Structure 1
């Protein structure tokens, strides 16, 4: 999958070190909303996470991760994932993260559009969700730019990695 500027590639062992480098370099901004960041600090942890991502992709279960690669220089920008939540619906949740020095350039908006297309065409998704902390304004802006409708706000429904309570917002789009 690709757009004019980016390519989305499935997990592979060649991405272990670039992902680890990106997570470590942008740990301060990523860890505000992503609880897995503290568990992604060593090459061993990154390798294990990649093995799980490859297995999930091969068996089409759990979370299907796609690595966002800028075409002009092959730089790993971040990850966009499809969490396969309920195959009976079918329902998928879209999640994403990006290097903080690449935020605001439209890369995640492009990636969400491509992964959404994949979910509709290859997984026959009927419902897509983007779920975020209410205070994660950048993530919410992506959902809104991509045409997702704010469906619910769950008060005090999550604890952020730093410990404070936050509301959860659910954006959705139907086929």
Structure 2
């Protein structure tokens, strides 16, 4: 998957993984734990600097791999803050599974939508899929706002302590 990162995003940029972002990653994850823990099984109450660095180094390796998840960090132009992250997992035949998370300090301002739209636009002739919990209304709104269409509901497919039994929604975006 070769392409150029978008350069026309106001107030932010999309960046490949870079160890220089470790402290900003640590800050974003620690600040956003409460929101992330509702839906992301990997969220933890505290991420140390060493853990952030190890994650970033794994992200660099994955990014450079043909089969690894490519994580794109959304970085604020002012200061080294991470606004969020969008991951693309290759699923074969021009298909990708999308995952994302947002720094709660920047939530609700349209940054994730603009970054997601710009990223998929850079990859013509690709199809993107994402799943979200029926309880995760912000994620559903983001998917629809970025042009994804709900194509299937998996009833009672997940369960969390925060939200009990939930459906899983499958969204698709064909980028022509």
Provide the TM-score with structure 2 as the length reference. Answer: 0.87
Equivalences, count: 169
Structure (1 or 2) with the greater helix fraction: 1
- Secondary structure of 1:116 counterpart: helix
- Distance verdict in 2 for CA 1:12–1:95, change over 3 Å: same
Displacement of 1:90 in angstroms is: 2.0
Give the alignment's Cα RMSD to 1 decimal. 1.9
Matches of 2:68 and 2:132, distance apart in 1: 18
- Distance verdict in 2 for CA 1:40–1:61, change over 3 Å: farther
Displacement of 1:166 in angstroms is: 1.4
Point out the more displaced range, 106-115 or 60-69. 60-69
Question: What is the correspondence of 1:130-169 to structure 2 with a 5 Å cutoff?
Answer: 130-160=130-160, 162=162, 164-169=164-169
Matches of 1:160 and 1:63, distance apart in 2: 25
- Distance verdict in 2 for CA 1:139–1:8, change over 3 Å: same
Matches of 1:18 and 1:139, distance apart in 2: 23
Q: Structure 2: which 5+ runs fail to align? A: 1-5
- Secondary structure of 1:37 counterpart: coil
Matches of 2:42 and 2:72, distance apart in 1: 17
Alignment counterpart, residue 50 of structure 2, candidates 31, 44, 58 = 44
Question: After the TM superposition, which parts of structure 1 deviate over 4 Å for at least 4 consecutive aligned residues?
Answer: none
Say if 2:84 is the partner of 1:78: yes
Say if 2:34 is the partner of 1:28: yes
Matches of 2:139 and 2:101, distance apart in 1: 9
Alignment counterpart, residue 123 of structure 2, candidates 119, 122, 143 = 119
CA contact (8 A) 1:39 1:45 kept: no
Provide the TM-score with structure 1 as the length reference. Answer: 0.87
Aligned to 1:93: 97
CA contact (8 A) 1:35 1:161 kept: no
Q: Structure 1: which 5+ runs fail to align? A: none
